């Protein structure tokens, strides 16, 4: 995936999502998708989606908006919720927290949505959670994998946590990579926090963190860090550098001979999108741990059905992938729908009380359930390795994995 592709323009977003799926523009960065039927007595239930439709991680945000559109249409086609149709209100957060805060306020104050599903980066979540939850008095679902420690009332997390991603992966890396780790990351909350968790696991299992280092989000020259990795004979590079730097980092490591010397890459947010950032030879053997990989569809009919539906509705290069929060978006909307059905109403307190223990029997990667009192989600987890430009599943959890949060 080129930097040009990742920096989707607003025009390209509209051609890939809004026009193709019947979303109506209601202002700059604003769209609405209405059901094709109505309940005049009570009116629609309104769901807000705020995500990065433009900016450097638009490839992820557009996928999340696509998934929301797909799931809401499926619910509407089955009669909606409580006999009412669902309207989907979409706002572009543009990978910019100040823009996001204003657009989230639109969802709450102008559109009067009943729930907001929003955010990819942790910095975005931290910027918009107060306008949604505290000032907006609205239920908030955060769909992305993240660093943990988010225990705000009325904020529910439906992506993997450090415990779910690292507890099995770190021992696997030590066994299948080596004991000497380097932890390069981008300089924001997610890499700093998850690396603290990873370090404790590495050391508890007899490994060593040679160094950790953090870089500006736009850094693309990693020559000094690569030299440090090679000279210290690091076995495993546990990466939390994000785009646009991740591609150059992996390329420079490959050119320095890290992989040829037996080194192993690891990146817990690495999904099918990252396979397109680098040449296959530059990431051969890279390990990841996520709640879903496309390879899961080979023996999971439910995942295969969900993947096929997405591919049919949204063909092209905007992928249904776990690291982009697409799976957390799917899971979050389905859990919310189950909670609304149980509550029999849509006010925040009633739905939150039901969502606290909501569960779904089917979803991407398997079933899922909220941990009562914790506002985080149990789910199946998979360890996968990049081979020849695809992922191969090399490990699966025994049942649903506890997030160990809050």
Q: In the chain, pLDDT over 70 holds for what percent of residues? A: 94
Between 118 and 12, where is the model more confident? 118
pLDDT digits (tens, 9 = 90+) for 194-219: 999 999 999 999 999 999 999 998 99
pLDDT digits (tens, 9 = 90+) for 28-46: 778 899 988 888 788 999 9
**pLDDT at 293 exceeding the cut of 80:** yes
pLDDT confidence of residue 21? 55
pLDDT digits (tens, 9 = 90+) for 135-172: 999 999 999 999 999 999 999 999 999 999 999 999 99
pLDDT confidence of residue 22? 67
* Peptide bond preceding 235 in cis form (omega within 30 of 0): no
Can you say how many angstroms the Cα of residue 215 is from the centroid of all Cα atoms in its chain?
Answer: 22
Over range 187-191, report the average pLDDT: 92
How do beta strands 115-118 and 45-51 pair? parallel
Closest CA to 55 of 126, 16, 90, 3: 3
pLDDT digits (tens, 9 = 90+) for 309-334: 999 999 999 999 999 999 999 999 99
Between 242 and 346, where is the model more confident? 346
Residue 158 and residue 188: Cα distance in Å, rounded?
Answer: 21
Pure H helices in 92-216: 97-105, 122-129, 162-166, 169-176, 189-204
pLDDT digits (tens, 9 = 90+) for 126-136: 999 999 999 99
pLDDT confidence of residue 184? 98
pLDDT digits (tens, 9 = 90+) for 6-35: 333 444 444 444 434 567 776 777 889 998
Report the mean per-residue pLDDT for the chain.
93
Q: DSSP letter for 160, please.
A: -
Q: In the chain, pLDDT over 90 holds for what percent of residues? A: 85
Residue 77 and residue 81: Cα distance in Å, rounded?
Answer: 10
pLDDT confidence of residue 392? 98
pLDDT band at 3 (very low <50, low <70, confident <90, very high): very low
**pLDDT at 56 exceeding the cut of 50:** yes
Contact 324, 60 (CB under 8 A): yes
**pTM for the whole structure:** 0.93
Residue 203 and residue 354: Cα distance in Å, rounded?
Answer: 40
Can you say how many angstroms the Cα of residue 362 is from the centroid of all Cα atoms in its chain?
Answer: 18
pLDDT digits (tens, 9 = 90+) for 330-375: 999 999 999 999 999 999 999 999 999 999 999 999 999 999 999 9
pLDDT band at 57 (very low <50, low <70, confident <90, very high): confident
Residue 215 and residue 96: Cα distance in Å, rounded?
Answer: 19
Count Cβ atoms below 10 Å from residue 397 Cβ, excluding itself: 19
């Amino acid at each position: 995936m080129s930097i040009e592709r990742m920096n989707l323009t607003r025009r390209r977003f509209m051609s890939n999502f809004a026009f193709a799926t019947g979303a109506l523009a209601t202002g700059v960065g604003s769209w609405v998708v209405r059901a094709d039927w109505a309940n005049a007595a009570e009116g629609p239930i309104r769901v807000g989606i705020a995500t990065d439709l433009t900016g450097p991680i638009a490839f992820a945000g557009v996928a999340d908006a696509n998934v929301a559109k797909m799931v809401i249409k499926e619910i509407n086609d089955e009669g909606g919720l409580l006999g009412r149709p669902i309207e989907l209100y979409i706002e572009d957060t543009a990978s910019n927290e100040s823009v996001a805060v204003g657009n989230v306020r639109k969802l709450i104050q102008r559109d009067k949505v009943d729930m907001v599903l929003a955010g990819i980066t942790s910095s975005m979540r931290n910027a918009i959670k107060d306008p949604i939850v505290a000032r907006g008095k609205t239920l908030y679902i955060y769909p992305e994998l993240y660093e943990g420690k988010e225990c705000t009332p009325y904020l529910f997390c439906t992506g993997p946590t450090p415990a779910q991603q690292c507890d099995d992966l770190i021992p696997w890396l030590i066994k299948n990579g080596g004991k000497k780790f380097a932890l390069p990351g981008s300089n924001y909350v997610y890499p700093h926090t998850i690396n603290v968790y990873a370090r404790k696991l590495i050391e508890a299992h007899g490994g060593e963190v040679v160094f950790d280092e953090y870089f500006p989000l736009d850094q693309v020259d990693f020559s000094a860090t690569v030299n440090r990795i090679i000279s210290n004979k690091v076995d495993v590079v546990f990466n939390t550098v994000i785009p646009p730097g991740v591609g150059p980092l992996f390329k420079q490591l490959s050119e320095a001979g890290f992989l040829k010397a037996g080194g192993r890459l690891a990146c817990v947010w690495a999904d099918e999108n990252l396979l397109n950032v680098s040449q296959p030879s530059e990431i051969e053997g890279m390990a990841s741990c996520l709640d879903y990989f496309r390879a899961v569809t080979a023996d999971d009919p439910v995942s295969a059905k969900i993947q096929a539906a997405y591919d049919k509705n949204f063909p092209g290069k905007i992928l249904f992938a776990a690291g982009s929060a697409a799976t957390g978006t799917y899971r979050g909307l389905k859990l919310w729908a189950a909670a609304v059905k149980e509550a029999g109403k849509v006010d925040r307190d009633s739905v939150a009380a039901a969502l606290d223990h909501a569960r779904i029997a089917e979803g991407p990667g398997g079933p899922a359930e909220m941990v009562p009192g914790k506002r985080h989600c149990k789910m199946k987890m998979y360890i996968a390795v990049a081979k020849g430009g695809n992922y191969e599943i090399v490990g699966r959890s025994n049942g649903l994995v506890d997030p160990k949060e809050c």
